[in-house]
Structure 1
Amino acid sequence: MSIILIGFMGAGKSTVAKLLSDDFIDLDKMIEQQIEMPISTFFDLFGEDDFRQVEQEVFEAAIHMNFVIATGGGIVENAGNLDVLGFQTQVVYLKSDFDVLWQRILKDDKNQRPLAKNKEFARKLFEKRAPVYEEVADLVIVVDNKQPDKIVQEIRDWQGNL
């Protein structure tokens, strides 16, 4: 069964996934391979609705691979994805304060985030998504001021108790 990491942009999903397993999927990278362009370019050309459809198709395929999956922050924006998450038993929400996340987003030069160009818009997205992350999560880990290896250990300890 897949371990699925969810949370807002900048929560550390990809970093934690890499540490949890060599067999991990960064869903955003998998999507970029399928669409053959950066997600930000796809957003500009086709919009968020088309992106969410592609994301759902790639996510549904990834679930069957039984790997650790680092999702994009907007995975909860699509009802189909919520259905898939609802059937999973190892959904881990990496939870953080918005201001901490915003600082991480600003410092991240590697990832272009099409929905994080404006702090207030990003804050509204965060406030909309946070309760949904909580609802679908089987485990919630507050990641503020925690090193990635500590987060990984919490996930492993939790898995040992399943």
Structure 2
Amino acid sequence: MERPIFLVGFMGSGKTTWGKKLANAMGLPFLDLDHEIVKHIGMSIPEYFALHGEDRFRTVEREIMQQQLGKTGVISTGGGTPCYFDNMDWLLEHGTVLYLKHSPKSLWNRLSNSDVNKRPGLKGMTGDDLLAFIETKLAERAPFYERSSIIVDQINTPLEELVNLLKR
């Protein structure tokens, strides 16, 4: 497979976990865009957000994303990556885009069991506040995610089925 597979979806949707599984199953390299950004900026993403703001982060994110041009394999993106600039157009033009879809409640369950303070937009959020945030943000981002080449219900789609969908 020459074109990379870009995984998109809301934070906590499993892009990194499933990206590694897919890459392994397909014999492809795996790259996490957020890890590449951290290497480039020399600090954590929450630290960068706090120091420079989201606009500057999104510009760096786009630059790092575009530096992946010509690479093959499975590339997990950040939750907001496809939603800024013309990033989704770029992803679709240069690869196959797989959306790992979840319901707000599913994302709430997953994010409630993680360290929300490591995620710039969620610091200190819990319970109903977290669910309301997810519902609002997911509604804003869904039009971008829904443009993906392939959309799967991440919870109910086994790895073998994902591999078969991507090999078509």
* 4+ residue runs over 3 A deviation: none
- Which residue in 2 is equivalent to 1:55? 61
Give, as a single letter, the amino acid of the residue that structure 2 aligns with 1:75: T
Matched position secondary structure for 2:67: helix
Question: Distance in 1 between the 2:95 and 2:77 partners?
Answer: 15
- Which residue in 2 is equivalent to 1:31? 37
2:164 to 133, 157, 160: 157
Q: Once superposed, what is the RMSD of the aligned Cα atoms? A: 1.8
The CA deviation at 1:160 is 2.8
1:66 to 69, 72, 78: 72
TM-score normalised per structure 2:
0.85
Question: Distance in 1 between the 2:114 and 2:70 partners?
Answer: 30
Indicate conservation of the 8 Å contact 1:97/1:144, yes or no. Answer: no
Question: Distance in 1 between the 2:68 and 2:105 partners?
Answer: 31
Q: Please, which runs of 5 or more residues in structure 2 have no aligned partner?
A: none
Question: Distance in 2 between the 1:64 and 1:112 partners?
Answer: 31
- Which residue in 2 is equivalent to 1:13? 15
Indicate conservation of the 8 Å contact 1:4/1:71, yes or no. Answer: yes
- Which residue in 1 is equivalent to 2:108? 102
2:94 to 72, 88, 94: 88
Number of residue pairs the alignment of both structures matches: 156
Question: Distance in 2 between the 1:160 and 1:86 partners?
Answer: 16
TM-score normalised per structure 1:
0.88
Question: Distance in 2 between the 1:20 and 1:65 partners?
Answer: 16
Question: Distance in 1 between the 2:6 and 2:69 partners?
Answer: 9
Within 5 Å, give how 1:118-129 maps onto structure 2. 118=125, 119=130, 120-129=132-141
Report percent identity of matched pairs.
37
Indicate conservation of the 8 Å contact 2:6/2:95, yes or no. Answer: no
Question: Distance in 1 between the 2:142 and 2:161 partners?
Answer: 21
Change (3 A) 1:111 1:71: farther
Indicate conservation of the 8 Å contact 2:5/2:75, yes or no. Answer: yes
User: Alpha-carbon deviations, 1:15-48, whole Å to 9, x = none?
Assistant: 0111112511111111001000000000011000
1:142 maps to 2:148? no
The CA deviation at 1:86 is 2.9
Matched position secondary structure for 2:86: helix
Matched position secondary structure for 1:63: coil
The CA deviation at 1:153 is 1.6
Give, as a single letter, the amino acid of the residue that structure 2 aligns with 1:16: W
Matched position secondary structure for 2:160: helix
